Amino acid sequence: MTPEVVIYRYLEVLQREPVDVPALTRRICADVDLLGRWLTVLQIPADPDVLRQNLGALPGSTLRILARSEAQSMLFDFVTVRLSLDRWETALRGAFLAEALARDIQPLKAGGVSGHSASRIRSLVLPASSGVALDHDTRLRELIDLRGAQASELKDADPVHQILAVVEANEDPEVAATLANVLLGLTPERFAGLNSAADDACQRVMKVTGIQDEGGTPWAQRIAEEERISTLARLFDEPGEQSFFERHRLASRGLF
Protein backbone atom coordinates (compact mmCIF):
# COMPACT_ATOMS: atom_id res chain seq x y z
CA MET A 1 0.00 0.00 0.00
CA THR A 2 1.31 3.42 -0.94
CA PRO A 3 2.89 5.45 1.91
CA GLU A 4 0.92 8.59 2.77
CA VAL A 5 3.83 10.91 1.96
CA VAL A 6 3.82 9.56 -1.61
CA ILE A 7 0.11 10.37 -1.97
CA TYR A 8 0.74 13.83 -0.55
CA ARG A 9 3.50 14.60 -3.05
CA TYR A 10 1.36 13.19 -5.86
CA LEU A 11 -1.53 15.53 -4.98
CA GLU A 12 0.92 18.42 -4.66
CA VAL A 13 1.57 18.36 -8.41
CA LEU A 14 -2.13 18.90 -9.11
CA GLN A 15 -2.01 22.30 -7.43
CA ARG A 16 0.10 23.72 -10.26
CA GLU A 17 -1.46 25.52 -13.20
CA PRO A 18 -1.15 23.98 -15.68
CA VAL A 19 -0.47 20.52 -14.26
CA ASP A 20 3.20 19.59 -14.65
CA VAL A 21 2.64 16.35 -16.59
CA PRO A 22 6.30 15.19 -16.56
CA ALA A 23 6.41 15.67 -12.76
CA LEU A 24 3.10 13.85 -12.36
CA THR A 25 4.41 11.02 -14.55
CA ARG A 26 7.53 10.67 -12.39
CA ARG A 27 5.44 10.35 -9.24
CA ILE A 28 3.11 7.81 -10.81
CA CYS A 29 5.98 5.71 -12.19
CA ALA A 30 7.63 5.61 -8.77
CA ASP A 31 4.70 3.84 -7.10
CA VAL A 32 3.29 0.48 -8.13
CA ASP A 33 -0.28 1.22 -6.95
CA LEU A 34 -0.50 4.58 -8.74
CA LEU A 35 1.09 3.10 -11.84
CA GLY A 36 -1.30 0.16 -11.93
CA ARG A 37 -4.36 2.36 -11.42
CA TRP A 38 -3.43 4.82 -14.16
CA LEU A 39 -2.46 2.10 -16.64
CA THR A 40 -5.86 0.50 -16.03
CA VAL A 41 -7.77 3.79 -16.36
CA LEU A 42 -5.99 4.69 -19.59
CA GLN A 43 -5.74 1.08 -20.87
CA ILE A 44 -2.10 1.49 -21.90
CA PRO A 45 1.03 -0.69 -21.43
CA ALA A 46 3.54 -0.09 -18.64
CA ASP A 47 5.67 2.44 -20.48
CA PRO A 48 6.48 5.87 -18.99
CA ASP A 49 6.65 7.57 -22.39
CA VAL A 50 3.21 6.29 -23.37
CA LEU A 51 1.85 7.26 -19.95
CA ARG A 52 3.21 10.81 -20.21
CA GLN A 53 1.69 11.24 -23.67
CA ASN A 54 -1.72 10.01 -22.53
CA LEU A 55 -1.74 12.18 -19.41
CA GLY A 56 -0.76 15.21 -21.48
CA ALA A 57 -3.63 14.57 -23.87
CA LEU A 58 -6.23 14.88 -21.10
CA PRO A 59 -7.88 18.26 -20.39
CA GLY A 60 -6.48 19.77 -17.20
CA SER A 61 -9.79 19.60 -15.33
CA THR A 62 -10.30 15.96 -16.29
CA LEU A 63 -6.76 15.10 -15.25
CA ARG A 64 -7.23 16.71 -11.83
CA ILE A 65 -10.55 14.98 -11.18
CA LEU A 66 -9.19 11.55 -12.12
CA ALA A 67 -6.00 12.08 -10.12
CA ARG A 68 -7.84 13.18 -6.98
CA SER A 69 -10.26 10.30 -7.31
CA GLU A 70 -7.42 7.79 -7.37
CA ALA A 71 -5.71 9.45 -4.40
CA GLN A 72 -8.89 9.43 -2.33
CA SER A 73 -9.52 5.79 -3.12
CA MET A 74 -5.99 4.90 -2.01
CA LEU A 75 -5.97 7.07 1.08
CA PHE A 76 -9.29 5.87 2.46
CA ASP A 77 -8.69 2.17 1.93
CA PHE A 78 -8.79 1.20 5.59
CA VAL A 79 -8.63 -2.55 4.93
CA THR A 80 -5.13 -2.76 3.48
CA VAL A 81 -2.13 -2.21 5.72
CA ARG A 82 -0.18 0.75 4.35
CA LEU A 83 3.26 -0.09 3.01
CA SER A 84 6.19 1.27 4.98
CA LEU A 85 8.35 3.83 3.24
CA ASP A 86 11.37 1.48 3.53
CA ARG A 87 9.61 -1.29 1.64
CA TRP A 88 8.32 1.20 -0.93
CA GLU A 89 11.87 2.46 -1.48
CA THR A 90 13.14 -1.12 -1.87
CA ALA A 91 10.61 -1.76 -4.65
CA LEU A 92 11.60 1.45 -6.43
CA ARG A 93 15.31 0.66 -6.11
CA GLY A 94 14.65 -2.76 -7.66
CA ALA A 95 12.96 -1.12 -10.64
CA PHE A 96 15.95 1.16 -11.15
CA LEU A 97 18.27 -1.86 -10.89
CA ALA A 98 16.27 -3.47 -13.70
CA GLU A 99 16.78 -0.36 -15.81
CA ALA A 100 20.52 -0.30 -15.06
CA LEU A 101 20.84 -3.99 -15.97
CA ALA A 102 18.95 -3.45 -19.21
CA ARG A 103 21.27 -0.60 -20.20
CA ASP A 104 24.37 -2.63 -19.33
CA ILE A 105 23.75 -6.06 -20.84
CA GLN A 106 22.96 -4.70 -24.29
CA PRO A 107 23.73 -1.20 -25.52
CA LEU A 108 20.37 0.36 -26.28
CA LYS A 109 19.88 0.39 -30.01
CA ALA A 110 16.62 0.99 -31.86
CA GLY A 111 14.86 -1.93 -30.22
CA GLY A 112 16.56 -2.03 -26.84
CA VAL A 113 16.51 -5.25 -24.79
CA SER A 114 13.90 -7.67 -26.16
CA GLY A 115 12.43 -4.77 -28.12
CA HIS A 116 11.94 -2.62 -25.00
CA SER A 117 13.56 0.60 -23.85
CA ALA A 118 15.29 0.52 -20.46
CA SER A 119 12.60 2.79 -19.00
CA ARG A 120 9.89 0.42 -20.25
CA ILE A 121 11.68 -2.46 -18.52
CA ARG A 122 11.81 -0.43 -15.29
CA SER A 123 8.05 0.15 -15.53
CA LEU A 124 7.46 -3.55 -16.18
CA VAL A 125 9.60 -4.77 -13.30
CA LEU A 126 8.06 -2.41 -10.70
CA PRO A 127 4.59 -4.03 -10.87
CA ALA A 128 5.89 -7.50 -11.83
CA SER A 129 8.09 -7.74 -8.73
CA SER A 130 5.01 -6.92 -6.63
CA GLY A 131 2.78 -9.38 -8.50
CA VAL A 132 0.54 -6.62 -9.87
CA ALA A 133 -0.92 -7.85 -13.16
CA LEU A 134 -2.81 -5.77 -15.72
CA ASP A 135 -5.23 -7.61 -17.99
CA HIS A 136 -4.43 -5.40 -20.98
CA ASP A 137 -0.60 -5.69 -20.69
CA THR A 138 0.28 -9.17 -21.94
CA ARG A 139 4.03 -8.57 -21.52
CA LEU A 140 3.55 -7.89 -17.82
CA ARG A 141 1.43 -11.03 -17.41
CA GLU A 142 4.17 -13.11 -19.05
CA LEU A 143 6.73 -11.78 -16.58
CA ILE A 144 4.55 -12.56 -13.59
CA ASP A 145 3.80 -16.07 -14.86
CA LEU A 146 7.53 -16.95 -14.75
CA ARG A 147 8.26 -15.44 -11.34
CA GLY A 148 10.05 -17.83 -9.05
CA ALA A 149 11.54 -19.98 -11.83
CA GLN A 150 14.88 -21.68 -11.08
CA ALA A 151 18.08 -20.27 -12.60
CA SER A 152 18.45 -23.41 -14.72
CA GLU A 153 15.05 -22.71 -16.28
CA LEU A 154 16.00 -19.12 -17.14
CA LYS A 155 19.38 -19.62 -18.85
CA ASP A 156 17.81 -19.41 -22.31
CA ALA A 157 14.88 -17.21 -21.29
CA ASP A 158 14.07 -13.74 -22.49
CA PRO A 159 16.55 -11.25 -20.91
CA VAL A 160 13.71 -9.34 -19.27
CA HIS A 161 12.74 -12.50 -17.34
CA GLN A 162 16.37 -12.89 -16.32
CA ILE A 163 16.55 -9.28 -15.16
CA LEU A 164 13.41 -9.72 -13.04
CA ALA A 165 14.90 -12.85 -11.44
CA VAL A 166 18.07 -10.96 -10.50
CA VAL A 167 16.07 -8.04 -9.06
CA GLU A 168 13.91 -10.38 -6.98
CA ALA A 169 16.99 -12.16 -5.63
CA ASN A 170 18.59 -8.89 -4.57
CA GLU A 171 17.44 -9.16 -0.95
CA ASP A 172 20.60 -11.26 -0.65
CA PRO A 173 23.28 -9.37 -2.66
CA GLU A 174 25.57 -12.41 -2.88
CA VAL A 175 22.82 -14.62 -4.29
CA ALA A 176 21.81 -11.87 -6.73
CA ALA A 177 25.41 -11.33 -7.83
CA THR A 178 25.80 -15.05 -8.55
CA LEU A 179 22.54 -15.08 -10.51
CA ALA A 180 23.58 -11.98 -12.46
CA ASN A 181 26.80 -13.75 -13.41
CA VAL A 182 25.07 -16.97 -14.45
CA LEU A 183 22.20 -15.35 -16.39
CA LEU A 184 23.63 -12.06 -17.60
CA GLY A 185 27.37 -12.64 -17.62
CA LEU A 186 28.09 -9.81 -15.17
CA THR A 187 31.06 -9.92 -12.82
CA PRO A 188 30.33 -9.38 -9.11
CA GLU A 189 32.17 -6.06 -9.30
CA ARG A 190 30.11 -4.87 -12.26
CA PHE A 191 26.88 -5.96 -10.58
CA ALA A 192 27.84 -4.08 -7.40
CA GLY A 193 28.44 -0.96 -9.50
CA LEU A 194 25.03 -1.26 -11.14
CA ASN A 195 23.42 -1.75 -7.74
CA SER A 196 25.08 1.43 -6.52
CA ALA A 197 23.92 3.32 -9.63
CA ALA A 198 20.35 2.08 -9.06
CA ASP A 199 20.46 3.28 -5.46
CA ASP A 200 21.68 6.70 -6.60
CA ALA A 201 18.88 6.93 -9.19
CA CYS A 202 16.31 5.96 -6.55
CA GLN A 203 17.60 8.58 -4.14
CA ARG A 204 17.52 11.27 -6.84
CA VAL A 205 13.88 10.54 -7.63
CA MET A 206 12.96 10.58 -3.95
CA LYS A 207 14.76 13.89 -3.44
CA VAL A 208 13.23 15.56 -6.51
CA THR A 209 9.72 14.40 -5.59
CA GLY A 210 10.08 15.18 -1.88
CA ILE A 211 9.54 11.59 -0.74
CA GLN A 212 11.21 11.25 2.65
CA ASP A 213 10.50 10.33 6.23
CA GLU A 214 10.02 13.61 8.06
CA GLY A 215 9.92 12.41 11.63
CA GLY A 216 6.38 11.18 11.97
CA THR A 217 4.67 13.89 9.91
CA PRO A 218 0.90 13.14 9.95
CA TRP A 219 0.60 12.94 6.16
CA ALA A 220 -2.94 11.55 6.19
CA GLN A 221 -4.08 14.49 8.33
CA ARG A 222 -2.37 16.98 6.02
CA ILE A 223 -3.99 15.43 2.96
CA ALA A 224 -7.41 15.37 4.61
CA GLU A 225 -7.19 19.03 5.66
CA GLU A 226 -6.04 20.22 2.24
CA GLU A 227 -8.73 18.17 0.50
CA ARG A 228 -11.37 19.72 2.79
CA ILE A 229 -10.12 23.22 2.00
CA SER A 230 -10.17 22.44 -1.71
CA THR A 231 -13.70 21.05 -1.51
CA LEU A 232 -15.06 23.90 0.62
CA ALA A 233 -13.50 26.45 -1.73
CA ARG A 234 -16.02 25.34 -4.33
CA LEU A 235 -18.71 26.97 -2.21
CA PHE A 236 -17.60 30.31 -3.61
CA ASP A 237 -18.12 29.13 -7.19
CA GLU A 238 -21.64 27.84 -6.61
CA PRO A 239 -24.51 29.91 -8.02
CA GLY A 240 -27.22 30.94 -5.58
CA GLU A 241 -28.55 33.68 -3.36
CA GLN A 242 -26.23 33.22 -0.43
CA SER A 243 -23.95 36.16 0.23
CA PHE A 244 -20.16 35.88 0.19
CA PHE A 245 -20.20 36.45 3.95
CA GLU A 246 -22.62 33.56 4.52
CA ARG A 247 -20.59 31.22 2.35
CA HIS A 248 -17.41 32.24 4.14
CA ARG A 249 -19.04 31.56 7.49
CA LEU A 250 -20.23 28.10 6.39
CA ALA A 251 -16.79 27.24 5.05
CA SER A 252 -15.12 28.42 8.25
CA ARG A 253 -17.44 26.35 10.37
CA GLY A 254 -16.59 23.33 8.25
CA LEU A 255 -12.88 23.86 8.81
CA PHE A 256 -12.71 25.10 12.38
Q: Which residues contact 21 (CB under 8 A, 6 or more apart)?
A: 52, 55, 56, 63
What was the pLDDT predicted at 1?
75
**β-bridge partners, 113:** 116
Q: Is 202 exposed, middle or buried (0-12, 13-18, 19+ CB in 10 A)?
A: buried
pLDDT above 70 covers what percent of the chain? Answer: 81
Q: Is the pLDDT of residue 102 over 90?
A: yes
What was the pLDDT predicted at 83?
65
Taking the C-alpha atoms of residue 124 and residue 35, their distance in angstroms, rounded to an integer, is 10
Q: Is 95 exposed, middle or buried (0-12, 13-18, 19+ CB in 10 A)?
A: buried
Is 104:186 a contact under the CB 8 Å cutoff?
yes
CA torsion angle 9 14 15 16 (round to 10): 110
Backbone angles phi, psi at 113, to 5 degrees: -80, 120
What was the pLDDT predicted at 50?
96
Taking the C-alpha atoms of residue 53 and residue 42, their distance in angstroms, rounded to an integer, is 11
What pLDDT, in 10s, does the model give residues 182-236? Answer: 999 999 999 999 999 999 999 999 999 988 766 666 777 777 777 767 766 665 6
